[in-house]
Every structure is written in C-alpha cells, then in structure tokens.
Amino acid sequence: MNDKIEKALLALDPENNDHWTSDNQPRLDVMKASVGSDITRADIQAVSKTFNRKNPVITDETPTETPAPAPVVNSPVTAPVAPKEPAPVTQTVPEESPEPIVAKLDGEATIAKELKTATELMHVAQARFKKAQAAMDEIIAAKEKASKEETFSNTVKLYQAAQHKQRAERALR
C-alpha cells in the first residue's frame, strides 16, 4: 500500500491547484482516486512527513545509525579533503619479461575512508537541510496565517464599516 501511496504522491502536479488543499497538502479525494482505496492523512504521513506542494519530494526518513561527526569549528559547511593518490609502485620482474610491471596501488583503504567521510558529511548536510526546511515551513505558515487575517473580504468589510460610520455621523449633523 505504501508503494501505491508513494507513486500517487509523486504523480501530483505542484502547478495543479486541484491536487492540493489550501495548506499545501495533497487532497485526499485525488489520492483516493490514484490509490484506488480509502486513504487518510495518517497514511500519507506514514510515507513522508515532509511531503507537500512546496516540497514534492519523498525522502527516506528512517533514522540511520551513523557515528556522530566531529564538531565543525567556525565553518558552516566543511568540504571533504580529497585523499592523496598513492604514488605508483614499480616492480621489476626477473629477466623473462623485458618490461617492468607497474602496479598502481588502488588505495582501497583510502577510498573507503573517503567514502565514509563523504557519507558522514552527507548525513550532516541532510540533517541541516531538514532543520532549515522545517524553519522555512514555519516562516511560510506564519506568513500565510498573517495574510489570511488580512483578506480581501475583510478589507472590504472594514471599508464598508468605515463608510457606514461616516454616513451615520453626517446624518447626525
């Protein structure tokens, strides 16, 4: 069922207003039509907690057990340091072979260490991305809430009330 929900989520068009609610969540009736069975908001949240119109990406949200990276000092992002390639090793073979055989060490240990470092940095970056995304979502939600309080209809009602008050004051003169 989760695979069907995931495919249905990825099929939603962020540009199509019919696919989304006013708070940028997938519409359940559209999801039901795509999945073919009843679906709840909790079912969608089980597939991806961060999926919405502004973030139409399903990320792997299962926690992975990785060692905590070393603290970063005075640097917002640390780039991995490229490992030095080992120098080629030249071996000579007994005289049966006229050419020396050059064996370049593949540096498997060096590559494995680089891969581990890059993976740790990727996890740190993903965590920072999720925090930044959550903070931006809060900012957007606050802006939307503030803008809902100042809607066109409320502005018209305030104008009408002010006009009514002015007419009442003129009538009393």
The model's pLDDT over 45-76, given as tens digits with 9 standing for 90+, comes to: 888 888 888 888 887 655 555 555 555 544 44
- Mean of pLDDT over the chain: 77
- 152 is in which domain, residue-wise? 89-110+117-172
Q: How many residues does the chain have?
A: 173
Helix (H) or strand (E) holding 61: none
Tens of pLDDT, residues 92-123: 544 554 544 444 445 778 888 888 899 999 99
Write the DSSP string, 7-60: HHHHH--TT-GGGB-TTSPBPHHHHHHHHSS---HHHHHHH-SS-BTTB-----
pLDDT for 95 equals 53
Domain boundary among 47, 62, 79: 47
Instruction: Let me know whether 167 and 93 are in one domain.
Output: yes
Instruction: Let me know whether 28 and 94 are in one domain.
Output: no
**pLDDT-based confidence at residue 126 (cuts at 50, 70, 90):** very high
In percent, the amount of the chain with pLDDT more than 70 equals 72
Which residues are 91's β-sheet partners?
101
Domain boundary among 28, 47, 66: 47
- How many domains does one find in the chain? 2
pLDDT for 75 equals 46
